[in-house]
Chains A and B, each alone.
Chain A
Amino acid sequence: MKPRQQRMLGVGLTALGVAIAAGLTLRSFDENMMFFVDVSDVVAGDHPMERNFRIGGLVVEGSVEREEGSMEMTFRVTDLQCEIGVRYSGVLPDLFREGQGVVAHGLMGADGIFVADKILAKHDEDYMAPEVAESLARHVADQTMELPDGPAECNSQ
């Protein structure tokens, strides 16, 4: 083998080795790499107990309820399979609205209600002018909640 081919092989094997090592590492940390837990997993009991974590999903349309004269509010979060109630008291980000993505940080309460101490809004990858969004909304009754196969069963524990 020529020296140049040897070096080529060395570089190739290094790249391959690093890729495999990184792949295995990321696989074993898969759960910790998740920024938030899906609502279905929370309902199935697959979430950290007694410690803070984040849940993510869409705010259910019409579920936001505010208490008169206080910062207290409740709403429901869905991943289009399961739903979970969230209680929160504090300031909301600009993008928080019904039908849009949300990430809540907090603790799972004993009553099955997630008590959030921080709410972040999650934006989707679609950008459009308000007029376009309106015309879309006229054609598709509920675009954010649209499902290809209809709602799936929610399996609670």
Chain B
Amino acid sequence: MWKFFHHLTSPPHFYRLAATIIPWLAFPGLVLIAYGSYAGLFVAPEDYQQGDAYRIIYVHVPAAYVSIMAYVLMAVGGGCGLIWRLKLAHAVGAAAAPLGAAFTFLALATGSIWGRPMWGTWWEWGDPRLMSELIMLFLYFGYMALRAAIDETAKADKASAVLALVGVVNVVIVHYSVVWWNSLHQGPTLLKKGGPGMDADMLYPLLAMILGFTLVFGALLARRIRTEVLYRERRTRWVRELILAPGGGR
């Protein structure tokens, strides 16, 4: 079991494996996003209060979900890297951070665009949900800056893994911010007690978008991990052989 796991997470093996799984993530993901966008914009009925404006949730919710998932992945990668000294685990964290930051920004931006006409404000300082999501963006930035500031990869891995682990408490705060405190942001719709507070015609496109975003994120992440692995292993023999082989680098 351990032997198999070590083989799976060995950089050259994962490098090849990732190339195989990327299309299996990317294409279903894009199909789901295409269906979700069409059904969300044209098939789903308008909301009884917000009219058509609510349709931004088809981007906002999946983006926010992925922003949290990417952070958890980054922290788990950091933890596994620290404990088991897995080379691949640190590479996962390094590859996930910029993607997570991008999705966090997307969630903040779409929320702001929706908030202006619906709430009556672009941004409210002091709102727990808005602030905790913003702090998550800064955690991503801090993680990337810390990595960039330390030249030695092993040291950068350790320091940034600790930062990622410390920041993981914020993930819990983001999720429960609307439950624990008064917030302008509405409570959870999908994980609401007694089932999702949403019509099925609205719900299915949203679920498709969430799954689609997740799969596309997985494909992008796998691609970034490949690059990261290649760079980290640039002095090893398997990379040299890979590059020098006919049709090198494929």
Contacts and interface: CB of A to CB of B under 8 A. Distances in A.
Contact of B182 (A56, A91, A119): A56
Interface residue range, chain A: 35 or more
Contact of B183 (A11, A35, A94): A35
B188 A123 contact: no
Interface in B189-221: 189, 192, 197-199, 201-202
A123 B45 contact: no
A2 B158 CA distance: 19
B112 to A, nearest CB: 13
Given A127-B199, A128-B199, A34 B182 contact: yes
Contacts, number: 128
Contacts of B227: none
A132 B126 contact: no
Interface string A117-154: 01111111111111111100000000000000000000
B187 interface: yes
B118 interface: yes
Given A94-B117, A127-B202, A100 B124 contact: no
Given A94-B117, A123-B50, 6 more contacts: A18-B165, A33-B180, A33-B181, A36-B184, A95-B118, A125-B188
12 contacts: A7-B82, A14-B165, A14-B166, A18-B166, A35-B124, A35-B128, A94-B117, A120-B120, A120-B124, A129-B45, A129-B199, A132-B48
Interface of A: 4, 7-8, 10-11, 14-15, 18-19, 22, 26, 30, 33-38, 56, 91-97, 100, 103, 118-134
